[in-house]
A and B are shown apart, each in its own frame.
Chain A
Amino acid sequence: MKYSRYQTRPNSLRRFFVKGLIALPAAMFLSATCFAATPPTAEINTTGLAITDDTVTVGILHSLTGTMAISETGAQEAEKLAIKQINDMGGILGRKIEFIQEDGASDWPTFAEKSRKLLVKDKVAAVFGAWTSASRKAVLPVFEKENGLLYYPTFYEGLEQSKNVIYTGQEATQQILDGLNWVAKEKKAKTFYLIGSDYIWPRTSMKIARKHIENVLGGKVVGEEYKPLGNTQFGSVINKIRLKKPDVIYAAVVGGSNVAWFKQLKAAGITSKKQTLLTISVTEDEVLGIGGENLEGFYSIMKYFQSQDNPNNKAFVAAFKEMWGEDSVIGDVTQAAYLGPWLWKAAVEKAGSFDVDKVVAASEEGDIELKTAPEGYVKLHKNHHLWSVARVGKWNKDGQATVVYESELLEPDPFPAGYQ
């Protein structure tokens, strides 16, 4: 134990008692500060964060309203679950975690305003939050300026590594490369049709995918198309796909568009019987809206599926359902969000301090690992991203996926050479 020096109290207590009555007040004073198993606040908090002798305050910043609320709800529920579990275990450095929740309202400037409020007014020790790349980009300058600490849960495009952010989702290469290798090997795929929503994450992901397909797999991209966010008309794309007959449709359509996309595919007769489709943007959360029957037999590549069969995950799913209801589904990002508070706990305990600089330094040593992660095992790389496993899941009618492939533990590489 790191804090063994606080456990020497019986001896020192005895010494004080022999010294008689005069020493008693001193002993009582000391018992309040260092006889408890908690280090004194002044020692673990030198930068004025919201930490008392028995609590530490953190922030949760997700959209509770607006178009992103449906996606971000799972993430904030997972974070609250993790915080509750940590508190039940006694908290961090003897302090219970309290949280202040703010609503980002699916609006990037609101995210910036609220994150500034959490850091400047509330002095929170860490923030778990943001979901879209746009919201992360909006809060990033705030976290860097105020020296806050953000745990960001979503799989994303990479090309970023901030001192003040820990990325608990997978960056683009961790998600894309192994999936493509798998589909090329298993399905003998040579031709690919790329389709995505039109913003930074799909575009960057497709750029990496195209380079990998063309340069490494020796395949061919027969079409690349982007549709505006929220688009519901996929007729023209589907016609082109019919014409080109690609071996694989590689999709990164996000949010509500997914519902239209998969329904229209099915209506056009493109089903898993004749067509391989691999998507990097569909988790259990989306399937709830799309309907399992509409994408039965198609594949998703993620790092986590709710159906994963391991003791960590069983405990996590059970706890999640107990707290948030039997009907809850758990997607990739929800699980990644759950890791945030645990990674923070590990880093704080390693640093022996809540100071952001010290927590970041401890995180950057690259040996913080979570053996209890629902996805199996993760380790924090010194580049602030997680080592993680890529998994291919095949969707079933009931909205759950069967894992058909697992990669090695993949090193995160936010700035992949040769793919930029």
Chain B
Amino acid sequence: MNFVYEKLMGGKQGFFGFLILATLILVIFPVFLDIFRLNLVGKYLTYAFAAVSLVLLWGYGGILSLGQGVFFGLGGYGMAMFLKLEASSAENTKIQSTPGIPDFMDWNQITSLPWFWEPFNSLTLTIIAILVLPALFAFIIGAAMFKRRVGGVYFAIITQVIAVILTILIVGQQGFTGGINGITDLRTLNGWDITSDNAKYIFYFLNAFLLLVVIVISRFILTSKFGSLLLAIRDKEDRVRFSGYDVSNFKIFIFSFSAMVSAIGGAMFTLQVGFMSPSFVGIVPSIEMVIFCAIGGRMSLIGAVYGTLLINFGKTTFSETFPELWLFLMGGLFISVVMFFPNGLAGIWNDYGHHITDRLPFGKKPKKVESTQSVEEKADESTA
């Protein structure tokens, strides 16, 4: 029990934060939102995977990746390739010159399925590919850079360049990738209609559940010895290296892990939205993911989720209400969060959250002097 409480939840505040988040996304949203809005929230929560991965990588590891969209995209494309192959059965595509291959290949005069599409005929291989390929890709980039002690701004620039390269590659090789249109018109998963309301509910809960699992695993990583090392590397990399640790291996690990987490988000995105396009791979979405993380508070796994939700709710609401001015309102939102809450949304929770948690029955130990008053109040209440 103590292991669960301290290691997986991160102590009292972490535990209540997690509980509130879980209640919000598992109970409150599904109960109060209709399926259209819930599906939108589901879509936002897929970005939260990338935001959470950035908390690990950037907040704790101090490694700013401006190319997280690459991994989100790889995961999304993996899932999209599987769904597209299923949608392109010989029967569905009989008007094409070559039936049985995806429509965009036919438009680009490709007459047989390219070899790297073959594994995506199998769902098992697809899931493995979604989890392994982005992590492997991150491993290669990480090994190439961290072993040579490339870090800081240079790393950020290189990740950004990779995002650009991959976008150009996808857009340019449209016969193999669907080009700028992306992979569209995805309808079924093993014969099951993914566009039905039922499927949307199931994907929403699956997505929410996976996100919570990812948060718990990430929390475990951060509360372990590895987490302390990560912080140490961020603050004084040389000192950790001189203490005998191979710093690059830790960095490679956390980079690969964050890639895998983002890729899961990407795959869930494809399932819920029904298509994948290069507009999730480039620089703009990658930087947006960093913004989600920064708004939420880059040291907080749970804050990252709220940051993602806030920004995307803002985007949707503002653009629906003021289609011609919404970008200004988004700008205003960014500026006000940065000005008033420099530590993001998580900063508010850290500053004021203990007022709430301290009042709860099993949270009596005051940690800070400022919280004495609230403990007294608590005592008054219990005697009353």
Q: Please give, as numbers and ranges, the residues of chain B lying within 8 Å of A229 by CB-CB distance.
A: 171, 180
Please tell me the size bucket of the interface on B.
Answer: 35 or more
Mask: chain B, 106-132; 1 = CB below 8 Å from A; 0 = not: 011100000000000000000000000
Q: How far is the CB of B339 from chain A (nearest CB, A)?
A: 24
Residue A120, interface by CB 8 Å? yes
Q: How far is the CB of B132 from chain A (nearest CB, A)?
A: 26
Q: Please give, as numbers and ranges, the residues of chain B lying within 8 Å of A416 by CB-CB distance.
A: none
Scan residues 100-124 of chain A and give those whose CB is less than 8 A from a CB of chain B. 101-103, 105, 107-110, 112-114, 116-117, 120-121
Residue B275, interface by CB 8 Å? yes
B171 touches A117 (CB 8 A): no
CA distance A199 to B168 in the complex (A): 11
Q: How far is the CB of A371 from chain B (nearest CB, A)?
A: 34
CB-CB nearest in chain A for B103: A159
Q: Please give, as numbers and ranges, the residues of chain B lying within 8 Å of A64 by CB-CB distance.
A: 323-324
- Choose among A114, A141, A159, A198 the residue that contacts B195 (Cβ–Cβ < 8 A): A141
Q: How far is the CB of A332 from chain B (nearest CB, A)?
A: 21
Q: How far is the CB of B26 from chain A (nearest CB, A)?
A: 23
Q: How many A-B residue contacts, CB cutoff 8 Å?
A: 95
Q: If the complex has contacts A117-B36, A200-B180, are A207 and B109 also in contact, measured as CB distance less than 8 A? A: yes
Q: Please give, as numbers and ranges, the residues of chain B lying within 8 Å of A377 by CB-CB distance.
A: none
CB-CB nearest in chain B for A420: B97
Q: How far is the CB of A61 from chain B (nearest CB, A)?
A: 10
Contact segment of B10-18, B184-192, B302-310, B360-368: B184-192
Q: How far is the CB of A79 from chain B (nearest CB, A)?
A: 14
Q: If the complex has contacts A107-B279, A229-B180, are A113 and B316 also in contact, measured as CB distance less than 8 A? A: yes
CA distance A200 to B95 in the complex (A): 18
Scan residues 172-198 of chain B and give those whose CB is less than 8 A from a CB of chain A. 172, 174, 179-182, 184-187, 195
Q: Please give, as numbers and ranges, the residues of chain A lying within 8 Å of B273 by CB-CB distance.
A: 109, 112-113
Q: If the complex has contacts A102-B323, A203-B108, are A113 and B40 also in contact, measured as CB distance less than 8 A? A: yes
Q: If the complex has contacts A141-B186, A203-B108, are A112 and B275 also in contact, measured as CB distance less than 8 A? A: yes
Scan residues 318-364 of chain A and give those whose CB is less than 8 A from a CB of chain B. none
Q: Please give, as numbers and ranges, the residues of chain B lying within 8 Å of A140 by CB-CB distance.
A: 184-185
CA distance A420 to B110 in the complex (A): 12
Interface centre among A101, A137, A415, by most B CB within 10 Å?
Answer: A137
CA distance A200 to B323 in the complex (A): 29
Q: Please give, as numbers and ranges, the residues of chain A lying within 8 Å of B347 by CB-CB distance.
A: none
Binding site for B on A (CB under 8 A): 64-65, 101-103, 105, 107-110, 112-114, 116-117, 120-121, 133-134, 137-138, 140-142, 145, 157, 159, 198-200, 203-204, 207, 228-229, 415, 420
Q: Given contacts A108-B277, A200-B179, could you give 14 more A-B pairs where the C-beta distance is less than 8 Å? A: A102-B323, A105-B319, A108-B279, A109-B279, A121-B36, A138-B182, A138-B275, A140-B184, A141-B185, A198-B172, A198-B179, A199-B179, A199-B181, A203-B107
11 A–B contacts from the bound complex (CB under 8 Å): A102-B319, A107-B279, A108-B277, A113-B273, A134-B277, A138-B182, A140-B184, A198-B174, A199-B174, A200-B104, A204-B107
